[in-house]
Structure 1
Amino acid sequence: MSMLMEDLQSKSILIVGAGVAGLSTSLHLARAGVQVTVLDYQPYSVNGYSPSDGCDAASADVNKIFRAQWLSNASSYIADGHEVHYQKLAFEARDVWVQWNQDLASTPWEELPEALSPKMTLFHECGFVRMPHHPDAPVTNFEKDGMKTLSKDQLAKHYILSSQEDKKRAKEAGLLDRLAAFRWEGDGVLDMTGGFTVADKACAYAQYLCTKAGVKFVFGAAGKVVELVKEDNKVVGVKTEDGQTHRADLVILACGGWTPSLLPEVCDRLETTAGSVVSVQLPPKEDRPDLWDKFSPEKSTVWTKGFNDAKAAPRASIYGFPRTEKGIIKIGYRGIKFTNFVDHPLAPGLRISYPKTKYTAQKESRVPLISMEVVKDTIKEILPDLAEYGKIVDTRLCWYCDSLDNNFLVDYVPQYGNTLAVVSGGSGHMFKQTRHGCLLRKDTEYTRLWKWPMPERESIPWVDKSNGLEQGELGPRVLRKVVMAEQPDWQ
């Protein structure tokens, strides 16, 4: 976002969306002395971003994967060559996550909102194991190429499971026990720079920091933005569901999967898509303390299977976490990113994909049957304890905002000059990147990578450059075309 700090400090800014993109952007702006107001229809100050209390944003989740190495070879191409921009940003963000753990632990309990306590851990450095789609498959060139860009210290925390030398290093470090929950004799990479964030608590902490920095929040109906207010080809504010108009010098849309529904101009480069999430409950702790210990963040690890392997799709791209404090193990599937097309609320004749959750007007708490089948097959294949003792207790769709090439879209919208900007296109990777201070810098590698319009696809050496967006409503990913899993399918 090519804007100078001195240009912003005299402006009032409205940010639409209090998820991770809106929180991070507002925090950096406020700390730089900018007047910021954030609007969101969710009562986050009351429910603390808890997904079990009505939150349906992608940021409002019990956990999110943190990984840095994967990004180095995924979405970091620009016209002038291969640069490891996302890897660099992720490792910078990792330092912030570690610092947040320390800062939260040293904050007096009485200063924190109800959703937080100093005893909480926001970032678990439990490691991250990446497995190919099949035990006979080797570590992919994708993985190997990504590891070439790591520093010596970062590379030392990576272990290739087929390497006897690496397995010896991992054993000496006491790390092989973290793989005890898995039945897997194949290759893979154990990445001890990775782990997971406790997403809902991290958002609640970020909101706490924003409030301390002077950010004003407007939640509920008073914060539900229904349209932009325009005058003379400029955006001068937003209108909310309660009929009020909120004026500002600059409006920033940072509302994830809801972004295309507020801005028709972005619909040719951003699309709202859903991953599938299945929750598996362990037996009560008093009955099976051994399983609670084995799957704990202290003894287990985040895992993925078959990611970035075209031969394995669509029955791959599955991931899971250690257990939560309630004994829930979350397993997600992104091999197929589903869509839900509706009429655009502001642009007659335009059809867009729109979130459909258990809390929206169009309610949906199920996941597609193919997602459930992949989850169950994976549990049977690599998680024998879950197959025997676990119980599926919940399903839901998690709605992201995908871009054409997986790069973020962070820039002014040209039609409206410097009065409207977008921070979106997370493509499932926005949460780990807490460092949006780069939005304040002029002409950096990030502003060039995230610019509007997106870089010409021909200049980006990606195998899949459309990310599925060109399929539209005629494609096979549309929810109304797929069979949904019912409760009997959970068994």
Structure 2
Amino acid sequence: MVDAAKPRIIIVGAGIFGLSTAYYLAEDGYNDITIFDQHAYDSDEGYKLNPGSTAASVDENKVFRASYGDELYYQRLAYEAREIWKEWNKELGAGKELFVESGMLRVQHSTYLDDLELQTLANMTKEGLRDTQYIVSDEEDVRRAEKNGWAHKLLKFPVPGTDGKETFEAVLDTTAGYVFPSKACAYIAGKLRKSGTQFVEGPEKGVFASLLVEGSDDSKRAIGIVTKDGKEHSADLVIMACGSATPMLVPEVSRVLEATAGSVITIRLPPREEAPELWDKYSSEITPVIIGHDPDPTGKTVGSRSIYSFPRTEDGLVKIGYRVTKYTNFVKLPGFEEPLSVPLRPEVDDTSLPITSIEGIKTYVSTFHPDLAALPIARTRLCFYTDSVDNSFLIDYLPGYSDTLFVCTGGSGHGAKFTPILGKHVRDVIQKKPKTELTHHWRWRPELPLGNGLEEGPAGPRTLDKQKRATPEDLKRAGW
């Protein structure tokens, strides 16, 4: 029975932001929720990674970390989420976990701790968590690691050009690891379906075409949406949780959000019986997540700690992600004065990786995983995220729609870890509870100066049309 006291809600987007929001609204008694998505996630494949999906939420694994420098509010949110990840693990049972506590090694740019790391350790100490962090070069930390069973993950990597005499400083975070976003989305969606939340999915009936709006520009209201099949769907509140497609669907946010692509390759290990030592080494019991960088062969480093690798999957795949350069894809769309960066469509557009990414990943592999350098690439992917001007999420009512249009996006490459708790705080914003430090950072904030690359626009150096793209032959010539 629908509760007339609760608003009818439409959520556009069945990814992490949309599902987590629906989960907590349903928990609070909202029982007229309909989620729309262009992908048929109710099919046999569900949220499994597939070539046709453009969603960043649909992925094999993503990093879980609570290391945020001086951004203590995100550190606390990560640990809040971590407790629920662990609860979900218990509920699902052994072998079905959604969160793997493999630990994460934060490799520095040089032989000392940089400012970001010092800020992170200071906040960990402030919160009483310093004992979960192990500095590779710290003798006391090494002794603690040996005592607590973490010493085998205190990996040391030679600085190129030093003949092995120097190693990169690193910090092992034993509270970190990785999560399975596709499985988590399927898990939440299953709970929502059982609780009565409606899903409308597919390439016609699930595709957002336009808002239904009534009233003038000075006093307008969103009263629902129109889908690609021409059907109208009414609602009291429309929540746009569309990931990297949000700027093209909600023009008002295109100034403060931008679709950008990270580069991902997946390396396949030989069959277990042929290389048991590699299967053992790259298991989550032995190998942590590694957050590294793009080291130059001369010993200098370029970029930030924006290349990362995971332990192998159950079927022997090792994923490596590259976010040193976040590529843009500008096109001219009807109704927009300026070109807009939009996600490429797998199996429709050219989604091959830039050569720059391949070269950066290859250098990373030769430094941190040299025994993978000669192994074949199983697949590549341009994974589109939604970057905000300051890397904080955008979760707020959109001005001008009388509190009937809500935006919930801006993951900026670090949203997946918050899946279990994000919707709780989104619900607080929807219900207009007093702003916290966290939700203050998520507010509608067009007053911020353009940054994080959004100031570059289509003339910037990161656009995909300016990149040389890697063909299969290029990969082979690169040793892959």
Give the TM-score normalised by the residue count of structure 1. 0.87
Name the CA distance, whole Å, in 2 between partners of 1:183 and 1:324. Answer: 26
Match of 2:341 among 345, 353, 368: 353
Distance change (3 Å), C-alpha of 1:369 and 1:8: farther
Please say if residues 365 and 373 of structure 2, whose CA atoms lie closer than 8 Å, have aligned partners that are also in contact.
yes
Please say if residues 36 and 215 of structure 1, whose CA atoms lie closer than 8 Å, have aligned partners that are also in contact.
yes
The aligned residue for residue 318 of structure 1 is: 307
Distance change (3 Å), C-alpha of 1:197 and 1:219: same
Match of 1:25 among 16, 21, 25: 21
Superposed counterparts of 1:454-469, under 5 Å: 454=446, 456=448, 466-469=451-454
Please say if residues 26 and 36 of structure 1, whose CA atoms lie closer than 8 Å, have aligned partners that are also in contact.
yes
Superposed counterparts of 1:404-443, under 5 Å: 404-434=389-419, 435=421, 436-441=423-428, 442-443=433-434
Q: Shift in Å at residue 438 of structure 1?
A: 1.5
The aligned residue for residue 127 of structure 1 is: 103
Name the CA distance, whole Å, in 2 between partners of 1:9 and 1:364. Answer: 48
Name the CA distance, whole Å, in 1 between partners of 2:227 and 2:234. Answer: 11
Q: AA paired with 2:371?
A: D
Q: AA paired with 1:467?
A: N
Superposed counterparts of 1:376-391, under 5 Å: 376-388=362-374, 390-391=375-376
Percent of matched pairs sharing the same residue: 42
The aligned residue for residue 295 of structure 1 is: 282
Name the CA distance, whole Å, in 2 between partners of 1:357 and 1:145. Answer: 39
Please say if residues 238 and 247 of structure 1, whose CA atoms lie closer than 8 Å, have aligned partners that are also in contact.
yes
Task: Determine helix, strand or coil for the equivalent of 2:50.
Answer: helix
Q: Shift in Å at residue 144 of structure 1?
A: 1.1
Name which of structure 1's ranges 162-171 and 402-411 shifts more when overlaid on structure 2: 162-171
Q: Shift in Å at residue 322 of structure 1?
A: 0.4
The aligned residue for residue 485 of structure 1 is: 470
Superposed counterparts of 1:59-70, under 5 Å: 59-69=57-67
- Does residue 1:90 correspond to 2:81, yes or no? no
Name the CA distance, whole Å, in 1 between partners of 2:5 and 2:29. Answer: 6
Please say if residues 364 and 396 of structure 1, whose CA atoms lie closer than 8 Å, have aligned partners that are also in contact.
no
Name the CA distance, whole Å, in 1 between partners of 2:103 and 2:253. Answer: 36
Distance change (3 Å), C-alpha of 1:183 and 1:101: farther
The aligned residue for residue 89 of structure 2 is: 101
Give the TM-score normalised by the residue count of structure 2. 0.89
The aligned residue for residue 34 of structure 2 is: 37
Task: Determine helix, strand or coil for the equivalent of 1:469.
Answer: coil
Q: AA paired with 2:389?
A: L
Deviations 1:48-89 (A, max 9, x none): 2111363220000000000012x252xx4xxxxxxx211111
**Length, aligned pairs only:** 447
What is the alpha-carbon root mean square deviation over aligned residues?
Answer: 2.0
Please say if residues 293 and 303 of structure 2, whose CA atoms lie closer than 8 Å, have aligned partners that are also in contact.
no
Q: Shift in Å at residue 350 of structure 1?
A: 3.0
The aligned residue for residue 3 of structure 1 is: none
Name which of structure 1's ranges 20-29 and 139-148 shifts more when overlaid on structure 2: 139-148
Q: Shift in Å at residue 190 of structure 1?
A: 0.4
Deviations 1:243-287 (A, max 9, x none): 111110000000100101101100110000000001111111110
The aligned residue for residue 81 of structure 1 is: none
Match of 2:324 among 302, 316, 335: 335
Query: Which structure 2 residue ranges, 5 or more long, are not aligned?
Result: 160-166, 295-299
Name the CA distance, whole Å, in 2 between partners of 1:18 and 1:8. Answer: 24
Distance change (3 Å), C-alpha of 1:283 and 1:170: same
The aligned residue for residue 7 of structure 2 is: 11
Please say if residues 126 and 300 of structure 1, whose CA atoms lie closer than 8 Å, have aligned partners that are also in contact.
yes
Name the CA distance, whole Å, in 2 between partners of 1:258 and 1:181. Answer: 40
- Does residue 1:403 correspond to 2:399, yes or no? no
The aligned residue for residue 462 of structure 1 is: none
Q: Shift in Å at residue 366 of structure 1?
A: 1.0
Q: Shift in Å at residue 172 of structure 1?
A: 2.2
The aligned residue for residue 369 of structure 1 is: 355
Match of 1:444 among 428, 435, 439: 435
Superposed counterparts of 1:177-196, under 5 Å: 177-179=152-154, 185-196=167-178
Deviations 1:331-384 (A, max 9, x none): 010011000011234x2433110001424x4x2331110000010111111212
Please say if residues 136 and 155 of structure 2, whose CA atoms lie closer than 8 Å, have aligned partners that are also in contact.
no
Name the CA distance, whole Å, in 2 between partners of 1:239 and 1:350. Answer: 25
Task: Determine helix, strand or coil for the equivalent of 2:321.
Answer: strand
Q: Shift in Å at residue 489 of structure 1?
A: 2.6
